[in-house]
Amino acid sequence: MRKIALTAALAISLAFAIISSCNAHRSSERPIYEETQSKSTTAAANTAITGSRQTVITEVAKRCSPAIVGINVIEEREVVANPFGDMFMDDPFFRYFFRGFPQFRQRQQIRSLGSGFLISPDGYIITNDHVAGRATKIVVTTAGGKKYNAEIIGSDPVTDVALLKIEGKNLPYLRLGNSDDVMVGEWAIAFGNPFGLFDRNAKPTLTVGVVSNVGVNLVEPASYVPNGKRIYRGMIQTDAAISSGNSGGPLLNADGDVIGVNTIIFSTATSYQGAGSIGIGFAIPINRVKRIVNLLRDGKTLDRNFYTGLTVDFLNEDYRRAYRTDREDGIIVTQVERRSPAEKAGIEPGDILVEIDGTLIHSRDDLDVAINDGVVGQSLRVVIERDGKLLTKTLTLERRR
C-alpha cells in the first residue's frame, strides 16, 4: 500500500514538473513573440509616418519658395570725416581742441541686403523702405540664382513699404491675403534672406512659428522720414525666427497667403554678423501694405510733410489738479499755434486728447501712430475732454509752412 502511495506521489510530482516546464517554455517564448510583434508594429507606424510627411508647411514651402527674392543694395550716404583721423579722438583735450575745426563731408557707398517677394507675373516686388528705399543700385536674386537689376517704383518711409520692379514675364508670385482675419495662435511661416544666406545657394530660408499677437503699435525715430518717425501700426507679432536680412520678406499663413511683411525684431546682437532672433518679430499687416502699394503702383505719392500746430505733454498730477480731471493717463494740449490746423479745428490749451480716428490716446506713441500716419489734406476725427465733457473736433492736416 505504501509502495502504491509513493508511486502515486511521484507520478503527481512528475506531472506538475512537466506542466511547470511547459509553462516556463511558454513564458520564455511569449516575450520573443511580443517583441517581434512590437517591432513589426513600429515598422508599420514608421512607414505610415514616412508616407505622410507632406504637411501644410511643406506644401507652402514648395509652392511659395520660387516667389521669394534676395535683395542686395548699394546706397550712397553722406558722412562727416575728421581731417585728423581718429587717433587723437579718444583724448578729451583733443576732442575739445578740434571741435572748432571745419568738418569735411564725403559720400560713401554702403552695401546692405534684405528680402522681398514677387506679387505679379510681370515682376513687381514688395520689400521694406529701410531695405531699398534710398538705394542707388538694387540687384534682385530669384530662386535658382538669376539676377536682375531692379528699379524703385515708389517708397513710403513712414510705413516702411517699398515697391520694386524687375523685367520679366510669367514669374512666380505670391497671393496677398487678408490680415484683418489673422488669428492669434495660427501658423506663421516666414521666408527670407537671413544673414545673406540666399546668396549661398539661391534658396530662401523658411522658419515656422505662430502668430503671437496682433494690433501692436510701434514708433521708431528716423531722421530722414517726414516728421522724423516711422509709424508701425497694427503690427503682427510672431515667434517664427526672423533675423537680420529677413526684412522685407513675407509672413504667410498655412494657406500660403501673405499676411504681413517681416520688418522689425527684438534681438540680442551677440554675433558679429548682426542681430539674431529671440522669438519676437513684427510684420506690417498686408492690408496696410496693399493700400500703400496700390498708390505707389499708380504713380501717386504720399505727402507726409504736414503739421498740426499742437504742443502736448503727458497728463501728470499737476495738470490733473489744474484742469480738474480724474483721468489717470493721457496727453494734454499745452500750446496751440495761431492759424494752425489745431486752432482751426477749435482745439485749445488744456484739452485732453482722448481719441483720434478710432485710436485711443494713452501715450505719446499713441498720438504719433494716430497723427503721423496721415497725409496732407487728410481730416482726422479728434475726441477731446474739456471741462469734464467730451467734444468731437475735425483736424485737417496742412502742409508744413
Annotated catalytic residues are 130, 160, 247
Q: Supply 61's cell numbers.
A: 514651402
Task: Name the residue with cell 520692379.
Answer: 165
Is residue 199 within 8 A of residue 70, CB to CB? The reply is yes
Is residue 160 within 8 A of residue 31, CB to CB? The reply is no
- Where do the H-state alpha helices sit in 241-363? 286-297, 317-323, 341-344
**DSSP classification of residue 385:** E
**DSSP classification of residue 180:** G
Task: Please state, in angstroms and as integers, the Cα–Cα distance from residue 22 to each residue in 27, 34, 363, following that order.
Answer: 9, 18, 84
Task: Decide: helix, strand or coil at residue 143.
Answer: coil
Q: Supply 114's cell numbers.
A: 534684405
Is residue 179 within 8 A of residue 259, CB to CB? The reply is yes
Task: Name the residue with cell 559720400.
Answer: 107
Cα 62 to Cα 50: distance, rounded to the nearest angstrom: 18
Could you count the other beta carbons within 10 Å of the beta carbon of residue 187?
Answer: 18
Is residue 127 within 8 A of residue 116, CB to CB? The reply is yes
Cα 384 to Cα 331: distance, rounded to the nearest angstrom: 10
Using alpha carbons, select from 174, 205, 182, 183 the residue that is nearest to residue 277.
205
Backbone conformation region of residue 245, classed left if phi is above 0, alpha if psi is from -120 to 50, else beta:
left
Which parts of 253-388 are beta strand (E)? 257-271, 274-285, 306-307, 310-314, 331-336, 352-356, 359-360, 379-386
Q: Vertex 53, ends 47 and 54: CA angle to 5°? A: 140
Using alpha carbons, select from 192, 177, 175, 59 the residue that is nearest to residue 121.
175
